[in-house]
Amino acid sequence: MASIGFCSLATELSAPEVIDARGLKCPLPVLKAEKRLAALPPGKSLIVLATDDMARIDIPLHCRQNGYACVLERDADVLRFTITKPAP
């Protein structure tokens, strides 16, 4: 039983943090991402969910300007950005 709990904990610790910015208008999604990315350890990922189409421009631009990898996926009206902070 203890090993199952350990595996579960390890999975939770390695899962990317999610910012749910659905319904927020830009620049709020990018500002929330910027604040969390500043504290995110190198090599870790952050997922941002947004519905404002301007986020499609603002978040990738912020990532390019700061050297973060950004992958955009769309599911119906929800934009899902997976942002990875580079390892040193």
pLDDT in tens, 23-70: 999 999 999 999 999 999 999 999 999 999 999 999 999 999 999 999
In a domain, 58, yes or no: yes
In a domain, 74, yes or no: yes
Domain with 27, as residue range(s), is 16-84
| Residue 5 pLDDT greater than 80, yes or no | no
What pLDDT does residue 14 have?
A: 72
Residue closest to 72 by CA, chosen among 63, 81, 64: 81
| Cα gap 33→62, rounded to integer Å | 9
Using CA atoms of 25, 28, 32, 64 in order, give the dihedral in degrees to the nearest 10.
Answer: 90
Tell me the whole-structure pTM to 2 decimals: 0.84
Residue with the larger pLDDT of the pair 70 and 3: 70
Hey, which residues are catalytic here? 26
Give the domain CATH number at 38.
3.30.110.40
Q: How many domains, in total, are found in the chain?
A: 1
What pLDDT does residue 88 have?
A: 84
In a domain, 6, yes or no: no
In a domain, 32, yes or no: yes
Residue with the larger pLDDT of the pair 50 and 11: 50
